[in-house]
């Protein structure tokens, strides 16, 4: 397994030091997390960096997860900028398309 952190601009950087990876997860990771709650649909969208990759040539990705009563989908992006845009689009579409929850 390869470990990654993000530089200040949101670009993945491979690290060999597990302590640097732990420090990033503890302190820097929150800067690269987005969450949008959709209470009327009973759903939420969250986006974060996946700081691990399984294979030697794999590049880590950003994950956008849409979770609700009728949907559970994950989308991937290769950059933080792309992930932010995808998060916005997924949240907007979910708000338009998902049915409102009955109270």
- Asked whether 12 and 29 are in contact (CB, 8 A), the reply is no
What per-residue confidence (pLDDT) applies to 4? Answer: 87
What per-residue confidence (pLDDT) applies to 40? Answer: 94
What per-residue confidence (pLDDT) applies to 54? Answer: 62
What per-residue confidence (pLDDT) applies to 84? Answer: 95
What per-residue confidence (pLDDT) applies to 103? Answer: 64
**Residue 44 carries which DSSP code?**
E
What per-residue confidence (pLDDT) applies to 57? Answer: 65
What per-residue confidence (pLDDT) applies to 56? Answer: 65
> Cα separations (Å) of 66 from 49, 52, 61, 80, 93?
15, 21, 16, 17, 11
What per-residue confidence (pLDDT) applies to 16? Answer: 87
What per-residue confidence (pLDDT) applies to 11? Answer: 85
Separation CA 98–CA 86 (nearest Å): 17
Separation CA 26–CA 79 (nearest Å): 21
What per-residue confidence (pLDDT) applies to 12? Answer: 87
Using 70 as the pLDDT threshold, list the residues of the chain that sit under it.
54-57, 103
The two tokens of residue 102 are 């009955």
């Amino acid at each position: 397994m390869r470990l990654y952190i993000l530089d200040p601009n949101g670009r993945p950087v491979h690290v060999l030091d597990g302590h640097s990876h732990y420090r990033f997860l503890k302190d820097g990771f929150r800067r690269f997390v987005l969450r949008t709650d959709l209470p009327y649909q009973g759903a939420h969208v969250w986006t974060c960096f996946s700081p691990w990759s399984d294979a030697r040539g794999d590049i880590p990705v950003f994950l956008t997860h849409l979770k609700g009563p009728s949907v559970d989908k994950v989308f991937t992006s290769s950059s933080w900028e792309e992930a932010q845009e995808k998060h916005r689009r997924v949240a907007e579409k979910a708000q338009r398309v998902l049915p409102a929850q009955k109270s």
